[in-house]
């Protein structure tokens, strides 16, 4: 693993590649082409506005319009060439090379067109010289470091050729009055313009290529980390499937045989043997609950559960759970109260999973409340959500530990002298959290040590749905069994 991380952080031949293959080059290039269509239109409209409304003298509107037409035609060819690859994220190597070449030609054409536009609007005196810097930034973002420097050099050569050519009268000057203050070019002015523009272009390309290099390496590391995490997640799911498959049958067989012994089918048992059998049954029940939690967690992490959602009556589920767990409440000597508001809106969700989350809250309240405690279950309408609260008079949770309650495989230490040995896997509340995430629900807890806890989960009200909703979720039907925190 360490060698792989080192390979990720070391410079590689991918440094020479443009940044955007990681960010869908075809689509970004298409966006650049659309912007250039807008630029062509702005050149025509801007030159007409300047000449006829602002009344700038000597502005060659016809020449600027021809430049815009040339940009439009060039852009149309580019758009037709890259259109088939606009929405494709995974390109073949030949398509990637083609798109990179188109991008090189596009950026180079922009520098040439900008040079012509500067020539027509004041040359060295033009206020539009800063657009060279803008184009250098675009080239640095879209292209590799080497290519960005090459295009920056091209930009400077074109600018220098324009300024020196105009200065030496090799190229006729255009100085529209009102747009620029025309005047005689001097050697000092030419030197200043070329030096300042050269430094700006150099600093811009250095800064941008450095930043894009850092970003490119970060993207590669992120991609590699995501791939590694996906691989580890798949290994984890595969391991859980295999472990559950290999454990379910022998645990069931052992439970059956021990139950037979406890019922006297193997002959009378001594008092010590009965105690041993009872302990074994208790431990097997713990293991069965743990396997149940693992099965539920595996189903949650498999994904694709949202399509099985239906309209669910939360109040009805709560009443059902209270009825099924009333024996546990009576055995623990607790009093259980249900407070349910009327006219609760339905929520859209997976009934089996919602039941799993609520039974975790309820059984936790029963287990972590000393004998003779009080448990209150509330079903409320809060804004546009149905909120279920399970309040107990139990041992409570310290504020410092509350942030860890819903984490995976976490069990908060408690006073054994008050409750005795409480079985648990450390997965129950984490399963509640995953179920809440799937349903877009909010979860939380209010608690003080020695004063009890209130756990809540709030499901958003269902949006209007068709008369025939999606079929109920059946993927977790094999998870029936005791739930545990």
Q: What is the pLDDT of residue 5?
A: 34
First-to-last C-alpha distance (Å) of the chain: 34
* pLDDT at residue 479, as a whole number: 38
Contacts of residue 188, Cβ cutoff 8 Å, sequence gap at least 6: none
Residue ranges of the chain whose pLDDT lies below 70: 1-25, 27-28, 54-55, 86-92, 177-193, 196-197, 200, 203, 207, 211, 214, 240, 244-245, 286, 293-294, 296-308, 413-425, 462-485
pLDDT at 88: 59
Q: How do strand 442-448 and strand 452-460 relate by DSSP bridges?
A: antiparallel
Q: Residues 6 or more apart from 407 whose CB is under 8 A from it?
A: 430
> According to the model, what pLDDT value does residue 390 have?
92
53-95 per-position pLDDT tens digit? 766 777 788 888 898 898 888 888 888 888 777 655 555 677 7
Structure tokens given for 146:
């080497």
> pLDDT value at position 181?
61
Q: Which CATH architecture has domain 305-479?
A: 2-Layer Sandwich (3.30)
HEC assignment per residue over the chain = CHHHHHHHHCCCHHHHCCCHHHHCHHHHHHHHHHHHHHHHHHHHHHHHHHHHCCCCECCCHHHHHHHHHHHHHHHHHHHHHHHHHCCCCCCCHHHHHHHHHHHHHHHHHHHHHHHHHHHHCCHHHCHHHHHHHHHHHHHHHHCCHHHHHHHHHHHHHHHHHHHHHHHCCCCCCCCCECCECCCCCCHHHHHHHHHHHHHHHHHHHHHHHHHHHHHHHHHHHHHHHHHHHHHHHHHHHHHHHHHHHHHHHHHHHHHHHHHHHHCCCCCCCCHHHHHHHHHHHHHHHHHHHHHHHHHHHHHHHCCCCHHHCEEECHHHHHHHHHHHCHHHHHHCCCEEEEEECCCCCCEEECHHHHHHHHHHHHHHHHHCCCCCCEEEEEEEEECCEEEEEEEECCCCCCHHHHCCCCCCCCCCCCCHHHHCCCCCCCCHHHHHHHHHHHHCCEEEEEEECCCEEEEEEEEEECCCCCCCCCCCCCCCHHHCCCCCC
Burial class (CB in 10 A: 0-12, 13-18, 19+), 86: middle
Query: Checking phi first, is residue 303 left (phi over 0); if not, alpha (psi -120 to 50) or beta?
Result: left
Q: How far is CA 287 from the centre of its chain?
A: 35
pLDDT score at 302: 62
What is the reported pTM? 0.49
Map out the domains of the chain as residue ranges: 2-231, 305-479
Provide the pLDDT for residue 225.
85
Residue 194, CA distances (Å) to 92, 175, 266, 346, 379 in order: 42, 19, 102, 71, 75
């Amino acid at each position: 693993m360490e060698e792989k991380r080192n390979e990720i952080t070391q410079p590689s031949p991918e440094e020479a590649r443009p940044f955007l293959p990681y960010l869908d080059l075809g689509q970004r290039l298409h966006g650049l082409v659309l912007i250039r269509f807008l630029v062509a239109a702005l050149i025509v409209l801007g030159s007409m506005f300047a000449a006829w409304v602002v009344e700038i003298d000597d502005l060659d509107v016809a020449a600027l319009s021809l430049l815009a037409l040339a940009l439009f035609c060039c852009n149309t060819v580019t758009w037709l060439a890259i259109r088939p690859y606009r929405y494709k994220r995974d390109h073949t190597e030949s398509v990637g090379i083609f798109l990179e070449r188109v991008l090189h030609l596009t950026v180079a054409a922009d520098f040439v067109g900008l040079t012509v536009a500067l020539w027509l609007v004041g040359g060295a005196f033009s206020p539009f010289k800063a657009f060279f810097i803008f184009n250098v930034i675009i080239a640095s973002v879209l292209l590799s470091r080497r290519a960005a420097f090459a295009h920056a050099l091209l930009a400077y050569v074109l600018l220098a050729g324009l300024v020196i050519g105009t200065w030496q009268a090799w190229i006729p000057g255009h100085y529209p009055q009102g747009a620029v203050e025309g005047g005689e070019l001097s050697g000092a002015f030419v030197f200043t313009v070329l030096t300042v523009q050269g430094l700006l272009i150099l600093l811009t390309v250095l800064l941008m290529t450095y930043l894009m290099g850092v970003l490119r390496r970060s993207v590669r590391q992120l991609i590699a980390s995501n791939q590694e995490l996906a691989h580890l997640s798949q290994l984890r799911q595969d391991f859980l499937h295999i472990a559950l498959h290999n454990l379910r049958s022998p645990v069931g067989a052992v439970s059956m045989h021990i139950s037979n012994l406890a019922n006297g089918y193997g002959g009378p048992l001594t008092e010590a043997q009965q105690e041993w059998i009872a302990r074994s049954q208790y431990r097997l029940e713990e293991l069965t609950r743990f396997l149940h939690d693992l099965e539920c967690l595996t189903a949650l992490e498999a994904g694709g559960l949202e399509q099985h959602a239906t309209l669910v009556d939360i109040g009805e589920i709560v009443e059902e759970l209270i009825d099924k767990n009333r024996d546990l409440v009576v055995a623990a000597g607790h009093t259980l109260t249900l407070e349910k508001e009327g006219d609760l809106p339905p929520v859209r969700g997976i009934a089996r999973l919602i039941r799993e989350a609520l039974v975790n809250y309820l059984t936790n309240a029963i287990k972590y409340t000393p004998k003779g405690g009080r448990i209150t279950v509330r079903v409320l309408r809060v804004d546009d959500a149905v909120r279920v609260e399970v309040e107990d008079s139990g041992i409570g949770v310290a504020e410092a530990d509350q942030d860890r309650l819903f984490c995976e495989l976490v069990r908060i230490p408690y006073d054994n002298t008050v409750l005795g040995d409480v079985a648990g896997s450390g997965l129950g509340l984490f399963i509640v959290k995953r179920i809440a995430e799937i349903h877009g629900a909010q979860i939380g807890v209010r608690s003080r040590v020695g004063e009890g806890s209130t756990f809540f989960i709030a499901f958003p009200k269902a949006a209007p749905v068709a008369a025939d909703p999606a079929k109920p979720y059946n993927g977790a039907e094999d998870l029936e069994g005791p739930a545990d925190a």
